[in-house]
Amino acid sequence: MVLLVTKGIVKQFGAFRALDGVDVEIEKGRVTLIIGPNGSGKTTLVNVITGVYKPEAGRVFYTKPDGKMIDITGWPPHKIFEIGIVRTFQIPQIFQKLTVLENLLAVARGQRGESVISALLKNWVKEEEELARRAFGILKAVRLIDKWDVPAYLLSAGEMKLLELARALMAGANLIILDEPIAGVPVDQAHEVFKIVRDINKQQNVTFLVIEHRIDIAFKYVDYVYAMASGKVIAKGLPEEVANDPKVKEVYIGG
Ligand code: ADP
């Protein structure tokens, strides 16, 4: 089942075409990766999907949990967030002085009144208990459970990325968009971040769209890859197919 589709997306900045007819399909339950050199349009595409930019042409469709496909083109970012499409940096910044657990509870409290859970629960205490229970479950999944009472500023670069991921889960995401999740993260931690993304994808059936430059690491953990260059998709397929595509090789290593 396709969770999100873009059809013929065109986005211009003045006369410059940053996206020139982009079609992508994100299958539910998959980890989809978008690669491409700097300036190829990856971030602009994510900005169109998440409502930051309105495209000049093209549509974005999303399948709701009830199976109905809706046109979300041009919706404001908060509405796109509410239907479960969460880009990690859309969530308010990590609070450095708060503990890991408090950072998760802050996400949920920020949403109070909107979540299904708060609608179902009868009173505040029960709601707080439920939130804490959920938060601990998520911390277990992202392997930060041992750090639950550690202030965020003491986390390593990799752990900080995992906390961002935990916060997206806490926000009730169906589709999590990770923007360079291992940028600045040492190699061993980078593998750990992707392993955890994979586990969460499998165990919790969360769909991921990942933008990443370090394709040597990312390719091992994803199901499907789109390669972009100059505002267009130049290749798509399984990681090994895209890695061996002559057009992709040309863009990355100059032929
Ligand atoms: P990527 O994420 O692949 O590095 P971007 O989507 O950030 O690429 O950028 C694609 C192109 O669009 C680049 O040439 C960039 O300079 C241009 N661009 C992006 N955002 C803007 C903007 N707000 N105004 C003008 N040009 C932009």
Q: Which two tokens stand for residue 157?
A: 């670069």
Q: Helix (H, G, I), strand (E, B), or coil: what is residue 94?
A: coil
d(CA 138, CA 146): 12
CA of 44 to the centre of ligand 1 (A): 6
User: Average pLDDT by consecutive 10-residue portion of the chain (255 residues)?
Assistant: 98 97 98 95 96 97 94 96 86 84 85 55 71 95 97 94 93 93 91 95 94 91 97 97 94 70
The ranges assigned to domains in the chain are: 1-88+174-255, 92-170
Residue 205 sits at the vertex; the CA angle it makes with 201 and 206, to the nearest 5 degrees, is: 65
Nearest CA to ligand 1 atom 5: 41
Pick the CATH number of 1-88+174-255 from 1.20.190.20, 1.25.40.10, 3.65.10.10, 3.40.50.300: 3.40.50.300
Q: Helix (H, G, I), strand (E, B), or coil: what is residue 238?
A: coil
Ligand 1 nearest-atom number relative to CA 45: 6
Cα 162 to chain centroid, rounded: 12
pLDDT at site 144 = 97
Nearest CA to ligand 1 atom 15: 39
d(CA 49, CA 45): 6
Q: For a pocket test of ligand 1, which of 6, 9, 13, 87 has the largest count of ligand atoms closer than 8 A to its C-beta?
A: 13
Ligand 1 nearest-atom number relative to CA 14: 25
CA of 39 to the centre of ligand 1 (A): 5
pLDDT at site 147 = 97
pLDDT at site 124 = 66
Nearest CA to ligand 1 atom 18: 18
pTM, two decimal places: 0.91
Contact residues of ligand 1, CB 6 A cut-off: 13, 18, 36, 38-44
